[in-house]
Structure 1
Amino acid sequence: MWGTSYSRARQAQTTIVCRECGGTLRAERTCHDVYLRCTACNKVTQVQEHIDEMDEALESFMENVFCDRV
């Protein structure tokens, strides 16, 4: 599919709760990394820290991320 023009979401809002402040986490990706950022306190955490809390939004988001980004 290289060269095909289609877009993948760069971020997705989850229902996962921030362990620092209780806000919600948003999944975000760059060209080289995927992480979770709190929408309230802006703290960044790794996806691996929240695998046991993964919701449908994060699971759907991760389906479109290349394996070498995780």
Structure 2
Amino acid sequence: MATMKVIELMANSEKSWEDAVKNAVKTAAKSVQNIRSVYVKDQTAHVTGEEITDYRVIVKVTFEVKS
């Protein structure tokens, strides 16, 4: 039976929410191994004038803990 752990991360992107999620996973993978899934908990955007300038996400990343 596997043991899983969940961490919560915030990430952003100037392109899209999807890219922000990819950034979160890519950054997490630098220090966490065996990532199994990502859950998008929240999405927001920063607006300047009439344009979205920054897409932001809060995600939960699940990974397997090796014993």
Q: RCO greater where, 1 or 2, for CA within 8 Å and sep 6 or more? A: 2
Give the TM-score category using the shorter length: under 0.3
Q: Per residue, is there more helix in 1 or in 2?
A: 1
Larger radius of gyration: 2
TM-score by length of 1: 0.27
Instruction: Please identify which structure carries the higher strand content.
Output: 2
